[in-house]
Amino acid sequence: MSGPSLTWTWPSPLTKMEADLKFTADPGTASPYFLATQFGLVHADNTHVLGSLQEDLNGYFGLQTQVKGSGGKGVVFAIWNATNAVSGPTSTCGAFDGEGVGRQCYMPFNWVANKTYHFRVEHTTGTSFRGYIADQSTTPPTETYLGEIQAPAGTAGIGGSSFQWLEYYTTAPASCSLYPYVRALWSRPTGNGGSVKPVMSGPAYGDAYCQNSAVTASGVNNYLEEGTPGTISTRLMVAKNGKFVHPVVTGGKCGGGGINADGSVVDDCALLTRVVLSSGKIALQADSGYYVSCPGGGGSTATASTRWARSAESFTETIVAGKASYQSSGGKYLTAVNGGGGALNCNATTVGVNEQFYMLDNKAPSATVSVSTKSVDQDGSKAIDGVIDGYPGDASREWATAGEGVGAWIRLAWSASTAIQQVTLYDRPNLVDNVTGGTLTFSNGSSVAVGALPSDGTGRTVTFSPRNVTWVKFTVTSVAAGSANIGLAEMQVR
């Protein structure tokens, strides 16, 4: 999936291009990320044809978390439509294997966060280009020759446009909040030993990007980042009069504009992700990835329109008697106007009843799960993993029984008495297995009837009088005709 990118335009052709890359947040080798600088190549007549990556005269270099051939960290140097490649002393060169036609040179390279790595590509003779990487943390810097690649006939140098990008290059996670956090600093590229400097015309975002992607300037250099920078949990923020805080739907998404405290329906827009930042402060993120923000540190209305958590999106959370207040970086508090029913402001200087929010956290992930039966790799823990998905999507993210229908059950238990007042049930997303009725029973002997679960992927929320329990059990009492393996995509308890 495409992440954020930067575009640079060169004023004249080059014989050499260089750039530095430093990761400040390492996503780990289990996360398929690629941070690269793509460079344009020019014809002998100094033209550069822009088109698709495969049609262009283009090459790239960068660092990957899972380099070809090793599964671990590595470095890559490549040119599309190249005709030949010769390896360096420790690299391997060969043809592309899934991104068009071209040649690439790659090698394991155990890069480390907070170290700077210097890339250099040089036009040598004819249509030949050489790639190098240097570890700047050593004295002198340790440079490695990656190989020489023959570009298409007529190629005469480096130029046109360059792109610096961040890419998650395999199947995307089920939701934006599940992207592992990555942050890296790309230097402004330079040409011909620093004598030529490009002009930036970005940043830009891919067609299918997460809103928690960002490009942030640092002088003439730029940070690229994606993912959620901390530990997370979802919650409902309930104002004094019982209204939910929720971002205003903008362009069909939860967020991108204002945020109110007037919700009366528990839906995806009312579910905010509580992100614990490395600073210890809290950020609140909407379903689509936008963060709750106090522009300028506060003093006016709050918004939910930024893609990253910076100072204006960071809050000091204080919890007293089960209610939370949120103080902005500017010392202002989030406040529900008139106790709810209107806008969410960020202008209060003290904490009163309108600045206190009852937090309904999802308590399901902390429970011990037991089920009537389970299919292979679809056990009960998948119903409380925080991911609402299942076949025909990711079947490993749902609970499915082994041929059960009526009578199937799932039970969540806690080691201590837990206060709850709401359960949300998400049916399996396939169009065959559908729960049409059920019963919630509780450790205190009470029970609540549950109607049919929606078959469109949305949840059914059942709200009841608050009760302290040590377990809750959902039993299926009726199913749609043809149901073969009843189950749940997710179960949330608040």
Taking only the tens place, the pLDDT of each residue in 362-400 is 899 899 999 999 999 999 999 998 778 889 888 888 999
Q: What pLDDT digit, counting tens, does each position of 7-62 carry?
A: 999 988 899 999 999 999 899 898 899 999 999 998 776 555 433 333 457 899 99
Please name each of the domains of the chain with its CATH number.
Answer: 2-226 (2.60.120), 231-360 (2.80.10.50), 364-493 (2.60.120.260)
pLDDT, averaged across the chain: 88
Task: Give me the pLDDT at residue 236, please.
Answer: 83
191: closest CA among 3, 357, 9, 370? 9
What is the chain's length? Answer: 494
Can you tell me whether residue 179 is helix, strand or coil?
coil
Sheet strands (E) in 178-315 = 182-186, 190-191, 199-200, 204-205, 213-218, 221-226, 231-238, 244-250, 253-263, 272-276, 282-285, 291-293, 300-301, 303-306
Cα angle 165, 170, 174; round to 5: 105
Whether residue 479 has pLDDT greater than 70: yes
Whether residue 1 has pLDDT greater than 70: no
Q: How confident is the model at residue 206 (pLDDT cuts 50, 70, 90)?
A: low
Q: How confident is the model at residue 230 (pLDDT cuts 50, 70, 90)?
A: low
**Of the segments 23-27, 285-289, 448-452, which one has the largest average pLDDT value?**
448-452
Whether residue 231 has pLDDT greater than 90: no
Contact 247, 254 (CB under 8 A): yes
Q: Output DSSP code: residue 138.
A: S
Quote the pTM value.
0.61
Q: How confident is the model at residue 5 (pLDDT cuts 50, 70, 90)?
A: confident
Whether residue 233 has pLDDT greater than 80: no
Task: Give me the pLDDT at residue 55, please.
Answer: 44
Tell me whether residue 252 is exposed, middle or buried, using C-beta atoms within 10 angstroms of its C-beta: 0 to 12, 13 to 18, 19 or more.
exposed
